[in-house]
Amino acid sequence: MIDKVTETDSKLTLHIVLQANLMNTESNSLSDISAVANLELAGSAGSPNNPTPAFSPLYQQIKTLILQSLQAGEWKPSAAIPSEMDLAVRYKVSQGTVRKAIDELAAENLLVRRQGKGTFVATHAEQQVQYRFLRLFPDSGDLQGEGPAQRQIIDCKRVRASSDIAKALAVRQGESVLQVRRVLSFASTPTILEDLWLPGAPFKGLTAERLRAYHGPMYALFETEFGVRMVRAEEKIRAVLPDADQCVLLKTSARTPLLSVERTAYTYNDAPMELRRGLYVTDTHYYRNALN
Amino acid sequence: MIDKVTETDSKLTLHIVLQANLMNTESNSLSDISAVANLELAGSAGSPNNPTPAFSPLYQQIKTLILQSLQAGEWKPSAAIPSEMDLAVRYKVSQGTVRKAIDELAAENLLVRRQGKGTFVATHAEQQVQYRFLRLFPDSGDLQGEGPAQRQIIDCKRVRASSDIAKALAVRQGESVLQVRRVLSFASTPTILEDLWLPGAPFKGLTAERLRAYHGPMYALFETEFGVRMVRAEEKIRAVLPDADQCVLLKTSARTPLLSVERTAYTYNDAPMELRRGLYVTDTHYYRNALN
DNA sequence: CAGTGGTCTAGACCACCAA
DNA sequence: TGGTGGTCTAGACCACTGC
């Protein structure tokens, strides 16, 4: 009765367990199911060529299932997911197990819990801080904006991926990608110059006009218009000097050192969906980082 | 019987609850205590002049108590704290409540859980990565060290705190502070120049000789020799050009932009204990940051 | 083998929110 | 008032470690 699952899915051990739970509609004493399932899992079940069967607790499996629903778009950004009780019934586990799965997803900023209201799919729009991934702050005060940033789209064109761009975006070299250049200004002072590259397929139809027309974070546009959710990112930071073009756009001198911030942003499953090279003017702003 | 506590402590509601628990040595049915306590807490107890009684769940109170024991040195760095069961008995709560308190402390890197062994006080020594707060990595590969860093203590002297140093360390201006300058080299290439300031009182007796004699992270020395544990830090990053002295020490040109990393490190209770100004050479290394 | 942290459950009650 | 997430408990069993 579980043939279909074990045949089509690579993570068979996990799904065997869950299917076992799902099959047992009412017959057994439910409290014993998970114990049996874990034995199966740690023991002989699963692929015999794997020396470490990679024991995975139930809540991790639930987490994976929720993640799949998120990725498949079953629940849209900013919408509420089913309540813990509903999910517990659906997955045939206790509420506490669902809770632990959701706890981890909330810690990873994929879900947002709101007491009394429900659990919601995180989004880059409607966020308290305008730019979730931007770490640049003004020297005076910790307000993210001295007023909102002024955005200026310089360019948006299709180009063929160079080898490093292709590698960063996990596409083939020479494949068509989108290249965008923009400037962010604070208090009318150009402060950030960004070049960014996006894989062509998911962002088909993106133009400078649409970028200019949209008000709000660019990642919010990616979510709502293209269904691409940036989930996490990594940045590599260096100190550099600008070239001639960059000087003009940032209205700065060629001898002013700038922060080079190269960001790779990922969607679900660690799939890279954006490469962004930023130049930050750091005479009136600084890059803030918290170490724990 | 709880007068002493309510008089001397500002967070009275919290301690009333805990005292109530601690007083109840054996008499009542223990399972009802916490429920009662929470009613007291959310209801009329506590300070009447506080409009929002600041409801604090039990596990947060336990967390605070554990934190106090850590701060008081009841459990030394790298030593094991009592088991969850022992703590549950001690605080008269369930194991699950202690567990949740420890979970949060582990998430903040104050404790480290090791299955089958126990829960241990986190330390800067004996860590997998040599430097817990250092975010600089070589371009090639993700090995933190191309071999370990070579450390060179340039200077260690007492100075009077300037206004900005005093402010950062929360001491009075003109008060005596320690100033250290050192260079870190990777593969014989000077890469990091650091100036750091420490409050005089906690670090009385620190000399260049002791710094040179100690092998291992400086924060580990602070822990073992001075009982000061750095718990978290914040960094402000800019791009700058070096001055003449810095050029010499880093063997770089005055036109090479460098990363300026100003770090404030905190011990318990958000008390600042170190100000560190670093200059990073970023032609063969980069500063890495993860955004979630 | 005993002791530790890790998982899972079931049930109770609380705080918060919206209708 | 009902539904949601948040807290707390008690008890069972599992995985890991070291004697």
Q: Identify residues of A whose CB sits under 8 angstroms from chain B CBs.
A: 107-109, 132-133, 135, 232-241, 255, 257-260, 263, 280, 282-283, 286-292
Token pair for A169: 């975006």
pTM: 0.85
What digits encode the pLDDT tens for the residues A83-141?
Answer: 999 999 999 999 999 999 999 999 999 999 999 999 999 999 877 677 899 999 999 86
Tell how strand B272-280 and strand B285-291 pair up.
unpaired
Of the candidates B260, B265, B261, the residue with the CA atom closest to the CA atom of residue B233: B265
Are residues B135 and A289, on separate chains, in Cβ contact within 8 Å? yes
Are residues B239 and A108, on separate chains, in Cβ contact within 8 Å? no
Three-state secondary structure string covering chain A:
CCHHHHHHCCCHHHHHHHHHHHHCCCCCCHHHHHHHHHHHHHCCCCCCCCCCCCCCCHHHHHHHHHHHHHHHCCCCCCCECCCHHHHHHHHCCCHHHHHHHHHHHHHCCCEEEECCCEEEECCCCCCCCCCCCCCEEECCCCCCCCCCCEEEEEEEEEEECCHHHHHHHCCCCCCEEEEEEEEEEECCEEEEEEEEEEECCCCCCCCHHHHHHCCCCHHHHHHHHHCCCCCEEEEEEEEECCCHHHHHHHCCCCCCCEEEEEEEEECHHHCEEEEEEEEECCCCEEEEEEEC
Cα-based distances in Å from A189 to A167, A186, A258, A284:
34, 5, 15, 10
Q: Report angle CA B198, B249, B194 to the nearest 5 degrees.
A: 25
Q: Give the model's pLDDT for residue A59.
A: 97
Q: Give the model's pLDDT for residue B143.
A: 58
Protein residues in reach of strand C (CB < 7 A): A 30-31, 33-34, 38, 57-60, 93-97, 100, 114-117; B 35, 38-39, 41-42, 55, 81, 83-86, 96, 99, 113-119
The Cβ of residue B235 has, within 10 Å, a number of other Cβ atoms equal to 22
What is the edge-to-edge ordering of all strands in the sheet holding A189-199?
A150-160, A176-186, A189-199, A272-280, A258-266, A232-240, B285-291, B136-138
Tell me the pLDDT band of B126, cut-offs 50, 70 and 90.
confident
**Residues A222, A204: contact at Cβ < 8 Å?**
no
Q: Give the model's pLDDT for residue A24.
A: 35
Q: Give the model's pLDDT for residue B27.
A: 32
Q: Which chain A residues have a beta carbon less than 8 Å from that of B234?
A: 288-291
